[in-house]
Structure 1
Amino acid sequence: MSAELSLPHHRLPAARVSELIRGEGGPDTLALLLGAERSRRLLLLRLLGDTTDLGPAWDLLSRAQRRAPQVVEDILMYPQTGMWLASALRQLRATAPVDEPPLPAVVGRAGALAAAAGLRAGLDFAMDVPVRHGWVPLPTLGCAVLPVSAPWATATLRAEGANAVFEVPGATVAVPSPFDVPGPHWHPVRRLSVGPEGRRLTVILEDTDPYRTYPVPAEPHPLSEEAAALWQRLLEQAWAVLLDEQPVTADAIRRSWLSLTPTAARERFRPRSVTSGDAFGGIEASEPDDGTQFAATLIHEFQHTKLGGLLHLAPLLNGESGASPEELWYAPWRDDPRPLGGLLQGIYAFVGVTAFWRGHRATAPEHDTLAHFEFALWRIHVSSAMEQIHRHPRLTPLGRALLDTLRGQAAQWLFEPVPDKCLALARLCATDRVARWRAHHRRPSVSAVDATVRAWLAGAVTPPPSLAAESEIVPDPSARWLDSLAVLVRYRLADMDDERTSLGTAEKAAAKVAGALTADALLAAGDATGARHAYVSQLASESCPAGAWAGLGRALAMAGTDPAAARLLCHHPERARAVHQALLRSTGTAPDPVRLAAWLSSAEG
């Protein structure tokens, strides 16, 4: 790899590249990425101006630039501006989703950007702005509500002196002065500020801009004061964790994170967060369980932000080079198979998550086993993901350097001591997840399954060797909640002092976790015998969930019984599932799953 990345106008010195390929990146590195992103935004804006008529908006932006250049800079670098520019250009090229707003409304947002800049710069002007279902968002300022019945319309914003008014046929709506004051028809942007002087983080709590959600725009949804106060408290907690445990990373986040899009709380231990390479500096996140989880989420999305910025400068992958564009891989953090680029994104993000838990367990209370479990689990996940692709021919020199560096780091983590209980549970959950993924997404060939069914019905001693061939990946859209066992384990580590379990308590535990079976709760509690019986019963039912095959394998392995069946179900549950389904269709009777799995295992000698 060369000493530095040479680009037409931007250069990343070797030291900064080294930071990024280690999964790190301090304030100076982020400043370089932000500078490159600024140039990219300007190019996109110029391209949009060359393609459409932005005359009045362009003129007003130019006036604002002369009067208050930092105002235009703020609006240009706002994450939602990047998302809008990319969406508008995709729509112009007819590559946007069919449910996008009408093109004039999309392009017309340039007027809203210019109007926001004009207001903040204190200019007098008149500017047409798009109205979306009665809402008029002005980036970095807020959102007006106008009495317009049509889904898409146009209003005129007139500003003179300290007065600004929206005009539509038959009505006017005034913008308060100052702009951060709420009004009957005006929702100002909220800013969350946390942390001590000199280390203070300030972000916009974005709840009205349509381009705040990724990748599809959404209608405004202003938060209540109570909800905004809750996000303030959660961010205070998360920021305190990051300042204490990762101060350099916190400083980089402070200088590059610009907006937070809040979404509703999800199931416990299953937060959702999103970033987009087009919206550098923006994060969309569900309401977290607590500040620690939120801190981990911020690290996760900051990793995506850094890698997205790097990818705008240099690729990690070459062209297809003979590889199928549909090549898919196992990603331990996703229910669906992922393309190579998506898997790389996840690896980079979850290396950061692993590093977070590695550091956090040193500061967590002594009785807090959850941090140890998270570190142990994620280090296994990222290592297994990287082992799949570390020699892939499509990796560029930069891509190889990044993956080799992260792989070496994760390999060292595997030797760090973790309490025995947490380590055993992490290994259980990691192997269970990959087996559940295989049960859903791996498919033996039809001819091999048919031959195996005939051999079984004929009483053959062993199945045909053809079943042992590697199965192909066929995405199963029904695959969901493959992390159910890990979520059940998290509940036990976080909440339960009593290690005893019963069928009744297992049923209650499973009821808390979407996609979990009672057998899963028994397995998470270490009741191998109870889990075996429950899985076998489940596999005799009509629903016969795919994940039960993987769970049965882990229960057999935990109990130390039926080693041949356990081996087959832990490593190739898709074979048992496919043959079992075929036998059920052929005979109307479901064979004993343990006996079938033991017989199938003999195909590999």
Structure 2
Amino acid sequence: MTDLASSHPQVPGPLPAPRAAWELLIRAERRSPSHVEQLLLHPQVGTWLSRCLRRLRGVTEETADEVPLWLETAYLHTVAASAALLAGIDFRIAVGVRDGGVMLPALGFLDLAGRDSAVAEIVADGVAGRAVRAGSHTVPLPSDLTRETGGWRPLRRLHGRHPVHPCSPYLDDLDPYRDFLRPTAPRRLSQPEARRWQEHFDSAWSLVAGQSNVDPAGVADCLISVVPVRYPARAEPFSASSPESYGCVLLNPPADAATLAASLIHEAQHVKLSALLDLVPLIRGGMEEIHYAPWRVDPRPLRGLLHGTYAFLGVTAFWRAHRHAVADETTPAAEFEFALRRSQTFHGLRTLRAHAELTGLGDRFLRGLEDTLTPWLNEPVPDGPLRAAEDLNLDHRLLHRLHHLRPDPGRTGQWAQAWRVGRPPPDALPATTLRASRTAVAARAALIRLRLRDPAGFDQLREKPEERPLDGMDAPLDADLHWAAGDTAAALDGYRDRLAAHPDDLPAWSGLALTLPTGPAREALRGCPEVVLAVHRALRDPSLGGPDPVALAHWIGSRR
């Protein structure tokens, strides 16, 4: 990286050459190899390095809102400064000022309080102490870098307390590379917010550490940095990890301890598998084809399916144990999550077996997953949570088909012509192709979770849906609320009304399939929803609209 940066015309800008930072890093390593190793393995350093290398090599296109390249490469200078501070050596180095201050990776952020300077200097002297100088101003660094003082904001830690398996990741709200999806300015959590994160994490970790189905020590080793984010969660809690940022997990504010525990296990599985795939190949190729993924709204390559299957096996394991560990009002929700996740994991395994080109180690790996999951598939689940999981899995498959499967236009036209002249539908269904497209997410999964976890809150939502929208979503449709409450007749009327006004509302088409009574119409909408939709679109008149969706589905379902 230093060689690339040193030869780039936009680097070093107003700073010394990257080689100066590299030499300081070497000095620090000679004094304290363990500290430097720990710093270089810090997740945010990995995110920065991957991003910076892509920019230096011209792999990514420059955008107007990106920081100058010299300032991005200047993160190396702050890495070197952090290493020198951890090693306890005397040094002096110029660093870039970003977002109004200086970020020292794995340590904290020094707010320069609006001082207008592009460059600052960090000085450590065994006699005079440690400070950051910006222009004519000098801001001291505390001797204890874990203590907040003046403009210094240390990285906080979360503490999952357990006598055998403790876990203490950073709670990173400061580093510009903490969110590996995009560089982000510091957004310091308030003390009450930080306390809530600590309370939720401590409760969640007690659930993880008490598990017999997962390895708590392995999960703890995969959690180096927890990054609070606020991305629309929609039907699923949001969490993410990246192989370029080993040990970093992005998380939305947690709803409850069990959901947070499942998310931690889920991302730890991703982190472990990313590390394994760096060492040995399990699958050949796997980035070209795209397939249905029961946990995603978009189609995924086989390598992504392998990741998801392994991650959700861990989540299934958690809910399997947790549903037996609780005996209160949260039990139905735990039963539902277990039934939902085991079905999704099974489908992922089946797709991998059918389509993936596995190495010998990959076949062994997959057999291990199958051996773990297979006995769980026959474990009994109460009817209510089981039906809810089955319905949502069906809903997910239908939405995938409606969004991404495209019937052959010529054959679709023949079907439309047969409807127009009153003939029976053709015998053979039109061939379809898979084309990834933008997706609309139904609120039904979020509503089911709310009904199972908080029945009183669900009842309040039914009474005044416009006053209590779900997190990240608009107020739910009345039809969705009726369906989640089990009133399929009212839900069916609502979905028909919705399609009369909005014939391309795909969640309403899926809702229609969920609520129709047994018969040809339901058979068509559950078996080939993309064909019903495509023929309906071909028959629409700009002024008169299209045929009744149920009548059309009945006609298609009556074919030989």
Which secondary structure state, in structure 1, belongs to the residue aligned with residue 250 of structure 2? strand
Mapped pair 1:184 → 2:150: yes
Alignment of 1:119-268 (within 5 A): 119-146=85-112, 153-161=118-126, 163-246=129-212, 249-264=215-230
Report matched runs for 1:265-414 at 5 Å: 270-319=236-285, 327-367=289-329, 368-414=331-377
The percentage of counterpart residues that share the same residue type is 36
What is the alpha-carbon distance in structure 2 between the residues aligned to residue 285 and residue 304 of structure 1? 14
Q: Which amino acid aligns with 2:119?
A: T
Counterpart position of 1:579: 535
Distance in 2 of aligned mates of 1:594 and 1:133:
57
User: Aligned equivalents of 2:148 and 2:456: distance in 1?
Assistant: 48
CA contact (8 A) 1:390 1:404 kept: no
Seen in structure 2, the aligned counterparts of structure 1 residues 506 and 459 have a Cα distance that, compared at 3 Å, is farther
User: Is structure 2 residue 399 aligned with structure 1 residue 436?
Assistant: yes
The answer on whether the counterparts of 1:134 and 1:145 sit within 8 Å (CA) in structure 2 is: yes
Q: Is the 8 Å Cα contact of residues 107 and 155 (structure 2) preserved in structure 1? A: yes
Letter in structure 2 aligned against 1:435:
L
- Residue 512 (structure 2) aligns with: 552
| Aligned equivalent of 1:17 | none
String of CA shifts for 1:164-208, please: whole Å, max 9, x gaps.
Answer: 222222332221222222233221111222314443221211111
Where does residue 447 of structure 2 map in the other structure? Answer: 488
Alpha carbons of 1:449 and 1:268: their partners in 2 closer, same or farther (altered >3 Å)?
Answer: closer
Among 417, 430, 434, the residue aligned to 1:469: 430
Contact 2:213 2:317 in 1 (8 A): no
Q: Counterparts of 1:536 and 1:128 in 2: how far apart (Å)?
A: 66
Change (3 A) 1:247 1:438: closer
Deviations 1:16-73 (A, max 9, x none): xxxxxxxxxxxxxxxxxxxxxxxxxxxx789878999532112211221122222112
TM-score by length of 1: 0.84
- How far the C-alpha of 1:232 sits from its partner, in A, is 0.9
- Rounded to whole Å, the distance in 1 between the matches of 2:165 and 2:457 is 42
Question: How much has 1:360 moved relative to structure 2?
Answer: 0.7
- Is contact 2:461-2:468 (8 Å) kept? no
Following TM superposition, by how much is the alpha carbon of 1:275 offset from its aligned partner in structure 2, in angstroms? 0.8
Give, as a single letter, the amino acid of the residue that structure 1 aligns with 2:430.
Answer: A
- Aligned equivalents of 1:97, 1:68: Cα separation in 2: 38
Shift of the 240–503 alpha-carbon distance from structure 1 to 2, 3 Å rule, reads closer
- Please tell me whether the aligned partners of residues 506 and 518 of structure 1 are also in contact (alpha carbons under 8 angstroms): no
Residue 393 of structure 1 and its aligned partner are, at CA, apart by 4.7
Is the 2:440–2:506 contact (alpha carbons within 8 Å) kept by the matching residues of 1? no
Structure 2 length-normalised TM: 0.90
Shift of 1:357: 0.6
Q: What number of residue pairs does the alignment pair up?
A: 547
One-letter amino acid matched to 1:432: D
1:524 alignment counterpart: 484
Structure 1 pair 178–311 and aligned structure 2 pair: CA distance change class (3 A): same
CA distance in 1, matches of 2:548, 2:118: 65
Q: Which residue of 2 aligns with 1:59?
A: 23
Contact between 2:283 and 2:359, CA under 8 Å: does it hold in 1? yes
Correspondence for 1:83: 47
Provide the secondary structure at the position in 2 that maps to 1:369.
helix
1:358 is displaced (CA, Å) by 0.8
Contact 1:510 1:521 in 2 (8 A): no
How many angstroms does 1:274 deviate by? Answer: 1.2
Per the alignment, residue 457 of structure 1 pairs with: 420
Following superposition, the deviation at residue 533 of structure 1 comes to: 1.2
CA distance in 1, matches of 2:360, 2:119: 50
Q: Give the equivalent residue in structure 2 for 1:41.
A: none
Q: CA offsets, 1:374-411, max 9 Å, x none?
A: 00011111212332231325333333333343244333
Distance apart, 1:586 and its partner CA = 6.3
Q: Is the 8 A contact 1:509 1:521 kept in 2?
A: no
Distance change (3 Å), C-alpha of 1:505 and 1:396: farther
The farther-off stretch of 82-91 and 302-311 is: 82-91
Aligned-partner Cα distance in 2 for 1:497–1:87: 47
Would the alpha carbon gap of residues 391 and 504 (structure 1) be closer, same or farther in structure 2, given more than 3 Å must change?
Answer: closer
| Offset at residue 157 of structure 1 (A) | 1.0
Gaps of 5+ in 1: 1-43
Match of 1:567 in 2: 523
Q: Using the alignment, how far apart are the partners of 1:464 and 1:506 within structure 2?
A: 47
Instruction: Kindly state the Cα deviation for residue 480 of structure 1 after the two structures are TM-superposed.
Output: 2.9
Distance change (3 Å), C-alpha of 1:141 and 1:506: closer
Considering only aligned residues, what root-mean-square deviation do their CA atoms show, in Å?
Answer: 2.8
| 2:70 corresponding residue in structure 1 | 104
Cα shift at 1:361:
0.5
